[in-house]
Amino acid sequence: IIKKIQTPNRSFCNPPPLPPSLAIKKHLTMLSTVTSRILRATATKTALRTAIPSVGAVRNLNLHEYQSAKIMSDMGVNVPFGIPAYTVADAVAAAETIGDEEVVIKSQILAGGRGLGKFKDEDGVPGLQGGVHIVKTSEVEDYAGKMLGKTLVTKQSGEAGKPVNTVLLAKKMALVREFYFAIMMDRQSGGPIIIACSEGGTSIEDLAEKYPEKIIKVPVNLAEGLTTEKAMQVVEGLTVSGDKDAAVSQITALYDLFVKRDCTMVEVNPLAEDTEGNLIAADAKIGFDDNAGFRQKDIFEQRDLTQEDQREVEAGKWDLNYIGLDGNIGCMVNGAGLAMSTMDIISLNGGKPANFLDVGGGATTEQVKAAFEIITSDPAVEAILVNIFGGIMKCDIIAQGIIDASKALDLKVPVIVRLEGTNVEIGKELLVKSGLALITAENLDDAAMKAVAAIQ
């Protein structure tokens, strides 16, 4: 996360480095992937920092394109006909069902930039260039074989890439124009905001650089919903050439999807126009609020765990907030603010945090043990810093969890512990009597310095 945000990978943007706390804020809140990308392309240091809201325990569900397309179709949005395929045989059958001379084959991963991505080489054999192709039906078998079961690396996937377990076979559409369209929650206006551009089909970063004057933003009042006037404002901004009333209906259907399905983001790129002037959601990315899982069960049952960091998946089972980073000092802290401060001070002392892990205010000894297991599952971790301020969370509970985890896991890395707050003396006494080689610290600065020293 830190690397993604601190290291510019776009030629037109050069944002200032963010300390780990701000990087984590940016990731956890997921304040619209699109808005943050536009900000990186246009904002100053001050604007970028103030654009990042307060952090909370936020996880958001993302679905594949074929899953999103089905949900959009059910809500009345025009989408190309497509069939997901999980094997090469499925892909061949899907292409035959479509019945055209040419079809579109799209790798399905939870990351953008698939078209410009590249599959990893295997056994010296170069991987396929591009995760989206228009091919002849007779070529589907060959292309599906080079995609399924392979790893696709894109600008947004990170160097590790994402596994392709599904490909989407879609009907080739006669599209004459491409637009950009997205809806997400906007902190400044306190409600949904529609972002649209009369140019599309490429990344929003490129659009923000090349056509900043063509990007329109239309905030929507949640109480009154998307009015016909505001929907028409979007249609006019897109410069739709076909039936504008039909286009308004499509924009309204996309907004209804956003609200009724508890979305955090609906991004359609491109939102295209066919030869008859009809709007078609040619590609889509939708995110859903995890807090709505209880009433969107059919959607959350489609979650693809293979696309997620397995450490984050495991942390979720224990109600822990974990995000893996690229450092070598593992962190276990209670409270998001304290966790981010801990990472900042580690960096200030010359170290690199390996993770963000918030055990929350009511963790049990079993959760603490699980936290250690998750942290130590990262082979890059060379030391662990535990920083606990006991308020609701009691220091003796954390201390016992540390002891149990150390004994059960036979930890081979130094563990630095800083406790303060409720039952701190009891906690410290437990650590001393445990006989374990734990390194204690009196304050956060002391803890960070000892953690960095332990790996040098």
List, for residues 207-249, the tens digit of each pLDDT value: 778 878 889 999 999 999 999 999 999 999 999 999 999 999 9
Q: How far apart are CA 33 and CA 286, in angstroms?
A: 11
Query: Predicted confidence band at 28 (pLDDT cuts at 50, 70, 90)?
Result: very low
Higher pLDDT, 320 or 5: 320
Please state which of the ranges 13-22, 33-42, 281-290 shows the lowest mean pLDDT. Answer: 33-42
Arithmetic mean of pLDDT, 139-145 = 97
Tell me what pLDDT residue 38 has.
40
Per-residue model confidence (pLDDT) at position 59: 57
Beta-sheet strand order (sheet of 439-440): 321-324, 355-358, 329-333, 383-390, 415-421, 439-440
Say what the pTM is: 0.68
CA distance 42 to 345: 29
Q: What is the pLDDT of residues 333-391, one digit of tens each?
A: 988 888 899 999 999 999 999 998 888 777 777 888 899 999 999 999 999 999 988 87
Q: What is the mean pLDDT of the chain?
A: 84
Question: Region 399-423: what's the mean pLDDT?
Answer: 88
20: pLDDT confidence band, cut at 50, 70 and 90? low
Of residues 30 and 127, more confidence is placed in 127
CA dist., res. 309 & res. 263, Å (int): 22
Q: SS3 letters for the chain?
A: CHHHHHCCCCCCCCCCCCCHHHHHHHHHHCCCHHHHHHHHHHCCHHHHHHCCCCCCCCCEEECCHHHHHHHHHHCCCCCCCEEEECCHHHHHHHHHHHCCCEEEEEECCCCCCCCCCEECCECCECCCECCEEEEEHHHHHHHHHHHCCCEEECCCCCCCCEECCCEEEEECCCEEEEEEEEEEEECCCCEEEEEEECCCCCCHHHHHHHCHHHEEEEECCCCCCCCHHHHHHHHHHHCCCCCHHHHHHHHHHHHHHHHHCCEEEEEEEEEEEECCCCEEECCEEEEEEHHHCCCCHHHHCCCCHHHCCHHHHHHHHCCCEEEECCCCEEEEECCHHHHHHHHHHHHHCCCCECEEEECCCCCCHHHHHHHHHHHHCCCCCCEEEEEEEECCCCHHHHHHHHHHHHHHHCCCCCEEEEEEECCHHHHHHHHHHCCCCCEECCCHHHHHHHHHHHCC
Q: Which of 29-43, 306-320, 418-432 has the highest mean pLDDT?
A: 418-432
Q: Provide CB contacts within 8 A for 224, sequence distance 6+.
A: none
Least confident of 164-168, 235-239, 315-319, 421-425: 315-319
**Does 179 or 398 have the greater pLDDT score?**
179
* Catalytic entry in 267, 273, 322, 382: 267
Using the predicted structure, report yes or no on whether residue 197 has a pLDDT greater than 70.
Answer: yes
Confidence at residue 43, expressed as pLDDT on a 0 to 100 scale: 36
Asked whether residue 400 carries a pLDDT value surpassing 50, the answer given is yes
Average pLDDT over residues 81-92: 96
Catalytic residue list contains 180: yes
Catalytic residue among 180, 199, 255, 382: 180
pLDDT at 147 over 50: yes
382 annotated active-site: no
